[in-house]
Amino acid sequence: MCETCGCGDPEIVPVEVQERILSDNDAQAAHNRRHFEGLAVLAINLMGSPGAGKTAVLEATARAAGGRLRLGAVSGDLATDRDADRLNAAGIRSTTITTGSACHLDARLVHHTLHHAPCSDCDVFFIENVGNLVCPAIYDLGQAANVVALSVTEGEDKPLKYPVMFQKADLVLLTKVDLIPHLDFDVHAVEDALSRVMPDAKLLKVSAKTGEGIDAWLEWLEAQRPAQRSGSTSLEHHAHSHEHSHEHH
């Protein structure tokens, strides 16, 4: 019997589901995570507002790593290949996921990239998400860690206004800190805001322009790296438990 609106219709039955609406994405993300873990690749989901300096940080990371780490990336872009072109020029092997009107990457899109542009010889694989402070946080991609780029030009109260993304972050990169002398920006205020939305808040101050803080960021990345590749989920020999909409090459 219809139990909520009281219409008393005896033909209506309640069916309990109690499942995450995005459980398909969760399952795909878990599959991606097995790929990354099997290959001992550290996958980083890099998020932030449009223009926060995500691509610039990765370019600076490649310059500072200087071949010490093998870096790969995929950039989610609404319409262009510009970020992937910049990253390739910087020495990070990159491809683009063109999202069209979609405001975020999802696990299926990332999985497609994994099979078509393998990252098996990378130490760190960056997923530069679509510039957006809300949507990307909702979709697990199979990453090992979430990093949010927040630029000093965006204002100290951004974490309080967009708690969803900051709450999911493992690390916040405060970008463009070379501009602080020209702005009215209070680093303590942003630290305070973060501590109210992000448990165990971690903030690193970086400048892609001057290279400040990039070494600390590289150290953080090194500390996240998995020990050894298990080889159990190499892309070459792996069977999918789910249906695929594309061929494996």
Ligand X SMILES: Nc1nc2c(ncn2[C@@H]2O[C@H](COP(=O)(O)OP(=O)(O)OP(=O)(O)O)[C@@H](O)[C@H]2O)c(=O)[nH]1
Q: Which residues bind other proteins (CB under 8 A)?
A: 2-5, 9, 11-25, 102-104, 106, 134-135, 137-139, 163-165, 167, 195-201
Binding mask 48-67 for Mg ion (x = CB under 5 A): ------xx------------
For Zn ion, the binding residue among 22, 40, 64, 103 (CB under 5 A) is 103
Whole-angstrom Cα distance, residue 59 to residue 88? 9
Q: From ligand X, Zn ion, Mg ion, none, which one binds at residue 135 (CB under 5 to 8 Å depending on kind)?
A: Zn ion
Rg value, the chain, Cα: 20
Q: What is the smallest separation between the CB atom of 67 and Mg ion, expressed in angstroms?
A: 23
Those residues whose C-beta lies under 8 Å from the C-beta of residue 20, and which sit 6 or more positions away, are 26
Closest to Zn ion by CB, 5 vs 15, is: 5
Q: Collapse the DSSP code of 178 into the 3-class scheme (helix H, G, I; strand E, B; otherwise coil) and give the result.
A: helix
Tell me: does residue 136 bind ligand X (CB under 6 A): no
Distance CA 138, CA 147 (A): 14
C-alpha closest to that of 211 among 5, 56, 107, 48: 56
Q: By Cβ distance, which residue is nearest to Mg ion?
A: 55
Q: Which does 179 bind (CB under 5 to 8 A by kind): other proteins, Zn ion, ligand X, none?
A: ligand X
- Residue closer to ligand X (CB basis): 107 or 148: 148
Segment 19 to 78, residues that bind ligand X, using CB under 6 A: 48, 50-56
d(CA 13, CA 31): 35
- Return d(Cα 158, Cα 216) in angstroms, integer: 23
